[in-house]
Amino acid sequence: MDVNDFYFKLGLKTEPIIDDTTLRDGIQMPGLAVGPTDAAKIAQLLSEVGVERIEIFHYQEPDKKAAKLIQDLNLDMRVAGWCRAVKEDIDSALQCGFNEVGISHPVSDIHFRAKWPERTRDAILANLVEVVEYAAKTHGLRVFVHGEDSTRAEWDFEKKLVNAVAQAGAECYRVCDTVGIGLSDTDAALPSGIPAKVCAIKKETEIETIEIHAHDDFGNAVENTMAAIRAASGVWDKIYASTTFLGIGERAGNAETEKTLLNLCLHYGVKKFKAKTAKLKETADFIGKATGYVVPPNKAIVGDYGFAHESGIHTHGVLNNPWTYEPYPPELVGNVRRLTIGKQSGKGIIKHKIMEITGKSPNEQTLRTVVEKVKEIYANGRRASLKEEEFKKILRTLELLRE
């Protein structure tokens, strides 16, 4: 069987581009940090899985060193410096050798009143336009403008802002669902309706391209990212998806790079990702190790238990045909199948493990004895799966294994 037998390729009339922000938004997650050498390795891995643009910090010395190491790799991937709407940040990006920047700036009254209560909307917008012109026209940088809190912004003003930054030289406008309240429903109105926002920006502004940056406060970041991509189909020539690997980031995090990429590959037939998914697990493991993030074992696609089977029904099915309980082969994403012994395990998996370890098929009495030994362990309050060595110890006790 081929994995493609089970996926109806919906198709897209837009080009989705993964714009990974693991090395910016991702490492803003409390407790995480990454050194320059590891940051460069992360950038290399991201390039290998199909990411075409990343954004990074560049303010502290370790950030500047990381930026240089990444650029020295000459990866087939664009690297942008993340900036606030101040000229000093643009100067810092220029000193680091970036060819493009992302300028983050609020667009909602909630943020305006909290951050600049004494300033008018027009004054706030004038400052943003000045900085965009400084980056784009004075210094020739490619500029993305990140509309912070777009999904709570008053549309008439946001539309004015998007047109103003487009005229000032910005290439792309990022819709930021900053607190994750965006809705994927096509009937959801502005400002929180993601499809409505994607279409309105195309219809009512002059910006060249669009991007979606979704947070996961409601658990909808991937859904909203995919909704934006679907809405862009037939409307925009291309759309950027701003994501982080493993979904790391502020508060509940962001849309996962690996989930977005695999959905695009399998459900929408985006061919450019087809040969690159095998490094997803390796990339996740390295990012976890490098940043100090513990990857949940049941994390979809890249978790250690993503293809683990323990209960009798599941292991019996998988032993006969992996397709019974796996939507795609683990090798597709660089993961591995794990058959474990635990409280819910039946004779089938225990027999399989005995044969795997000893190379011999046990008789019925021996099998019953091993099953009883396993049940005794769990009857005494054990919760975790048995480690390989623990199961081998049972086999040694019964003289089924001699080492």
Full DSSP string of 58-69: -SSHHHHHHHHH
**The pLDDT value given to residue 342:** 86
Residue 383, domain CATH: 4.10.430.20
Same domain, 280 and 362: no
Q: What is the CB neighbour count within 10 angstroms for residue 383?
A: 7
- 130 and 255, same structural domain? yes
74 and 165, same structural domain? yes
Residues 279 and 250 reside in one and the same domain: yes
pTM: 0.93
Residues 317, 203 share a domain: no
Is 146 within 8 Å of 102 (Cβ atoms)? yes
Residue 303 in any domain: the answer is no
Average pLDDT by consecutive 10-residue portion of the chain (403 residues)?
Answer: 75 97 97 97 98 96 97 97 98 97 98 97 98 98 98 98 98 98 98 98 98 98 98 98 98 98 96 95 98 97 93 83 92 94 86 88 90 88 87 86 74
Domain around 383? 308-397
Residues 206 and 273 in one domain: yes
Quote the pLDDT of residue 72: 97
Is 204 domain-assigned? Answer: yes
42 and 149 in a single domain? The answer is yes
Predicted confidence at residue 1, as pLDDT, reads 64
Residue 3, domain member (yes or no) = no
Phi, psi of 22, rounded to the nearest 5 degrees:
-55, -40
Helix (H) or strand (E) holding 142: strand 142-148
* 278: Cβ contacts below 8 Å, ≥ 6 apart: 331, 332, 333, 334
User: What total number of domains does the chain contain?
Assistant: 2
Whether residue 2 is contained in a domain is answered as no
pLDDT at residue number 346? 82
Question: What was the pLDDT predicted at 403?
Answer: 66
Are 96 and 239 within one domain? yes
- Domain presence at residue 270: yes
320 in the same domain as 278:
no
Q: Residue 403 falls within a domain, yes or no?
A: no
Same domain, 226 and 338: no
Q: Considering just the CA atoms, what is the radius of gyration of the chain in Å?
A: 25
Residues 323 and 222 in one domain: no
Q: What CATH number is attached to the domain comprising 239?
A: 3.20.20.70
How far is Cα 180 from Cα 216, in angstroms, rounded to an integer?
Answer: 5
